[in-house]
Structure 1
Amino acid sequence: MSATYEDRQLFIDGRDTASAAGRRMDVIDPSTGNVLTTAPLGDAADIDAAVVAARRAFDEGPWPRMSGRDRARVLHRVADLIRERADELVEIESRDVGKPVTLARHVDVETAAQQYEYCSALAQTLDGSVRDTPIPALAYTRREPLGVVGAITPFNFPLILSSTKIAAALAAGNTVVHKPADDTPLSALFMARLLADAGAPEGVLNVVTGTGPEAGDALLRHPGVDKIAFTGSTAVGRRAASVAGEHLKPVTMELGGNGAHLVFADADIESAVGAVIKAFVFNTGQFCMAGPRLLVAAEVHDAVVEVLRQAVPGVPLGDPRDPATVIGPMAGDQHRKKVEEYVALARQEGGRIVTGGGRPELTGDLAGGFYVEPTVITGLPADSRVVNEEVFGPVLTVQSFADEDEAVALANSTAYGLAAGLHTRDLARAHRVAGRLDAGIVWVNDWAMLDPAVPFGGVKQSGFGREYGPEALEAYTKTRSVVISLPTPPQEES
């Protein structure tokens, strides 16, 4: 077994720590269905120990009191170490999540490095402002860290989504307790040690692996946590926000999505179809900002569907360790079963399976993996559950529209509002439609163009708050106002 994902301990107060109850959980390789290793099964006692360490590091330690420039040096060193140890991180994400190694290297690992680089720059920009007032006083503001941040992340992008929260929180001077998904805990444990190697003081980042009902709930409820940063499904996020609300903790919620992808008749069809395929098979469809709803102008609907029918089966699917693979397995058997249930439901709702709809025929160890075929479905009614709910797998539904107004109405018709996209050669239409789509980020003539400088986040049931960009640090800071009296000097006698 590789040392990269050997049996590991929790990381609390700067050191490896066995879980209080001594329990462990299996970690499965989704490409084979076999046990890869084990991880600690932490619980409320472990969360308490981690929060106590984070609290002490914030209240008494050097991190919040460092200059932004000094924190920036540590964060930039993290970025350097991520790139230096890229091979290990690629192996972890591929084995733990089932990610194709090419995707893991060029997207997950590189994005995480860029996040720490960008946040190292932001750490040096946290300044306040002087306010002009008519009162006889000097009034100014300070932006200060919140305290202990509880970060809860999902299974689909473990490295990226944890880095999104941790880099921004640390840049602002907070300390962090991170609870990763129980399905995919390995990169979180690896990164905790990497941050320590980069110079993060003891207690600044603590990682407790375990289940949501035990470790996650304990983190949400802990009185020593000052803020919750959550990414996950809308159903779980709704409950997490409710629990945090009981304790009046500020929260950011990056939740589910069901993005609409609009193709107008004047679009470059070849380019548009390439983006459409990327939008629904990227990360095997396990992407909150995926584009699983394709809306096509009626006059080009049949042509687009035919191109998809021919092109989708040719997208390389198989062993995540093969650099040519584009589509790997689902991250777990329960995720695959959920996708299969939606495909069966689509048939019941009157949908036509254009391509896919089953399990691919694979041999050897891959035969036990959690694979599903990328699937394209047409003919579903507007009120179809498959159209309106988040499938979270490589399933694309196709609907037609008559004009721009109908396209926008269909795009905005679901409860979600995380991402959307459109294809057109008409610049005026691009700006006009982008301004009407009810989504936190809109892409034009491509999909999933993301950068740490560009904020994203949801509306409606896709959550609230923004990650990436300077806006991200607003969620991890508080504003303190200072007003210093300036009495009028006494008049001198003439």
Structure 2
Amino acid sequence: MAPEIKYTKLFIDNEWVDAKSGKTFETYNPHDGSVIAKVAEGDKEDIDLAVAAAKRAFHRNSEWRLMDASKRGEILRKFSDLIERDQKYLAELESYNNGMVLAHAKTFIGGAVGMVRYLASCADKVTGETIPSDGEVFSYTLRQPIGVCGLILPWNGPIYIFVSKVTTALAAGCTVVVKPAEQTPLTALALAALLAEAGLPKGVLNVVNGFGPGAGSSLTHHSDVAKVSFTGSVEVGKLIQQASGNSNLKRVTLELGGKSPLIIMNDADLNVAVPYAANAVFFHQGQICIAASRLFVQSGIYDKFVEAAVKYAQSIKVGNPTDPTHRTDLRLTRK
């Protein structure tokens, strides 16, 4: 059965709201192309509202920024507990909207719980340094939250990337505006609801669904956004760097797709090398930033490797991601 779709609106200033334009867009199940739901389509006006809410939450006697760091950690630990409580629903929703094999989605969410707990523990451990200097001076560093962060998510690992970006910024005392990938907005909205349930103050987290040229571009060009974190293509990463320079020289963190090679030498053990290569190439259908997009195989083992790799690839089942007979052994360790 399909999971219940609980949230399809924008989340701004701790309220679920329609897009100002009234527009929606369809989100799909990639397994069969069926429409899952219509989701509010945010644009520049909605981004402006979300950024304003995040700015108020950061600058005006900020409950979040001025909160004891240990208290921020407690709220984030509560968030991890809620993810763990709802992990079955979140895994099903991720698989339904993203196409991820359900068994893998459960693994990713287990990792997300651990990541949130780790980052929550870091909230009260952000320290500065005293620096030896010549003369009668006292030199030190003080690390402080930067302000409003614009966080742009990829479609291939929505839950895991949401928690890595959002929890890091929140633990530091920043406020955030999240722009999910238009292909996979549903789990970001579900996680926003859990953060609100955990006790996150008003305006600290905002989620605006929409498309890159509208919502995404408006976020990266916004002069009240102090930092942008983007995971996606090299082409869009270049545009974000340009937007930073053309607006307010906001800080930018980019995780961009690469062309990772895997090299197989003549002395490789095929019993290890073939499954390892399958993990690198086929895990999550190859739609993952660390996937090996090229294989270089030394000539002495080439024919045997290709034969074994073809046989292994043919054993991987393609179909409904909720099918429990899908192979789940692609994450291997050397024996």
Rate the CA distance shift 1:216–1:194 in 2: closer, same or farther, 3 A. Answer: same
Structure 2 residue aligned with 1:100:
101
Equivalent residues of 1:272, 1:445 under 8 A apart: no
Larger CA Rg, structure 1 vs 2: 1
Distance 1:183 1:215 in 2: 14
Which stretch of structure 1 is more off in the superposition, 147-156 or 234-243? 234-243
Equivalent residues of 1:317, 1:326 under 8 A apart: no
Distance 1:153 1:227 in 2: 14
Q: State yes or no: 1:25 paired with 2:9.
A: no
Distance 1:313 1:319 in 2: 17
Q: State yes or no: 1:325 paired with 2:318.
A: no
Structure 2 residue aligned with 1:418:
none
Structure 1 residue aligned with 2:288:
287
Q: State yes or no: 1:134 paired with 2:134.
A: yes
Structure 2 residue aligned with 1:111:
111
Q: Secondary structure at the match of 2:142?
A: strand
Equivalent residues of 2:156, 2:288 under 8 A apart: yes
Structure 2 residue aligned with 1:122:
122
Distance 1:235 1:138 in 2: 45
Structure 2 residue aligned with 1:81:
82
Moved over 6 A (4+): none
Counting only pairs closer than 5 Å after superposition, residues 20-419 of structure 1 correspond to structure 2 as 20-60=20-60, 61-107=62-108, 109-247=109-247, 248-326=249-327
Equivalent residues of 1:258, 1:288 under 8 A apart: no
Give the superposed CA RMSD. Answer: 1.7
Q: Secondary structure at the match of 2:4?
A: helix
Q: Secondary structure at the match of 1:63?
A: coil
- AA of the residue aligned to 1:265: N
- Count of matched residue pairs: 329
- AA of the residue aligned to 1:103: H
By how many angstroms is 1:237 displaced? 1.2
By how many angstroms is 1:268 displaced? 2.2
- AA of the residue aligned to 2:35: V
Q: Secondary structure at the match of 1:137?
A: coil
Rate the CA distance shift 1:229–1:87 in 2: closer, same or farther, 3 A. Answer: same
Q: Secondary structure at the match of 2:27?
A: strand
Distance 1:196 1:135 in 2: 50
Q: Secondary structure at the match of 2:301?
A: helix
Distance 1:46 1:3 in 2: 28
By how many angstroms is 1:245 displaced? 2.0
Q: Secondary structure at the match of 1:275?
A: helix
Equivalent residues of 2:31, 2:320 under 8 A apart: yes
Q: What runs of 5+ residues in structure 2 fail to find an aligned partner?
A: none
Distance 1:7 1:161 in 2: 19
Q: What runs of 5+ residues in structure 1 fail to find an aligned partner?
A: 328-443, 447-494
Q: Secondary structure at the match of 1:120?
A: helix
Rate the CA distance shift 1:274–1:89 in 2: closer, same or farther, 3 A. Answer: same
TM-score (norm 1): 0.65
Distance 2:333 2:107 in 1: 21
Equivalent residues of 1:233, 1:256 under 8 A apart: yes
- AA of the residue aligned to 1:149: C
Percent of aligned pairs with the same amino acid: 38
TM-score (norm 2): 0.94
Q: Secondary structure at the match of 1:260?
A: strand
Q: Secondary structure at the match of 1:283?
A: helix
